[in-house]
Structures are given as C-alpha cells and as structure tokens.
Amino acid sequence: MTNEAPAPASEQPMVRGQTGTTAWDVALDRLQHPAPGQNHWLATVRPDGAPHLMPIIAFWIDGAFHFLVGPGTRKGRNLAAEERCVIATGSLAIPSMDLIVEGRARRITDEATVARLATEFGGEGWPLEATGADVYGPHGPTAGPPPYALYRLEPTTVFALPGMHGMFDDDRHHAPTRWRFGGA
C-alpha cells in the first residue's frame, strides 16, 4: 500500500508539565501497520447532534484513513450530512498505543482512485470490485450492504495515548501527544 503521510504542523504534549512527546514516526508506523484483528471505531454526528459510534474496517493509505460505508446506513447518512468525524484504534503492539484521528471524511468519487483503493483493500483480504464510484463485494459486517461508498478521512488532529494492553506487564509507555495538521 502507498503510505505517504503529511507531516504534522505541530506536536504538543497532552499532560501539563510533560515535556516529552511520542515521535510522529512511531504513531504513523502503528497507523500504517495495524496488528491482525485490530479494531477501528468511527464516530459520526447524527442530524440531531447526538454521537454515533460504530466499528469499521479502515486502512491508512496515502496519508489518510480510508473506509467503506453503505450510503443507507446511519454512519453513511451522517457523513453525507456532516463530514467531521473521528476514527479511533488501539495498537496492541507492546508498548501499546491508542490513536485517535480527527478530521473530515469526504466521499471519493474519482473512478480511477476508487478502483485503485478497492484493489488495495482487496489485497488486505476483502475482495472488492469498483464500478464507477461505487464498490461491490462480499457483505462487510460493519459497512452494511453493497454498494459501498469509499471515504477518505484526512487528519486535522491526531492524539496518541498509552494503551491499556500490556500496561501492567511492561514499564515502557508512550507519552500522550497531540499532533495538528494543516487542516486544523
């Protein structure tokens, strides 16, 4: 997969008095190389302003998260009305790290890009086929029924926090860090 990533515009510790940060390269490596079975969660906003949180299958490609949703699903309807959202994931590699990516998810409609990304998703074990701007394939348990819409979430802010997995088995921990990007 292509994994070029934008460089953060700023890097800040998240704890008052903390001077150390986690290097962006460490967080980026966790985004680019999730552990087998690693979960991703998408938070969107309902029309009435209430939050909506659902698991998704997501891949970090070309410096952003990419994921599929059925346009008729609640998350699909939410994204069509409000593109601001969050994807969170917990990396289980020791020392573990939780990552939260805030930004705007925009539907990809360029047919060549949709075809390329569907092929890359298929290389990760989910056989997909692009037809125009729509993606088809076996039912994704978190995406709803096909056809799927393909979205790109470009980061505006990324947070890294020490993960709970193995926290008491290993004394190495990541420093809570906030990175802001050009769109922030």
pLDDT tens over the chain, length 184 residues: 445 668 899 999 999 988 889 999 999 999 999 888 889 999 999 999 999 999 998 999 999 999 999 999 999 999 999 999 999 998 877 788 899 999 999 999 999 999 999 998 887 677 889 999 999 988 777 788 899 999 999 999 999 998 766 555 555 678 899 999 985 4
C-alpha dihedral sign at 112, 116, 117, 122: positive
> Nearest CA to 133 among 122, 121, 117, 120?
117
Amino acid at residue number 5: A
In angstroms, the CA 44 to CA 102 distance is 11
Structural domains of the chain, ranges and CATH numbers in brackets: 10-180 (2.30.110.10)
How high is the pLDDT of residue 134?
96
Extended strands (E) in 30-146 = 40-45, 51-56, 58-61, 64-69, 84-91, 97-107, 129-131, 134-136
Asked if 165 contacts 96 with a C-beta cutoff of 8 angstroms, the reply is: yes
How high is the pLDDT of residue 1?
45
Q: How many other C-beta atoms lie within 10 A of the C-beta of residue 63?
A: 18
> Model-level pTM greater than 0.85?
yes
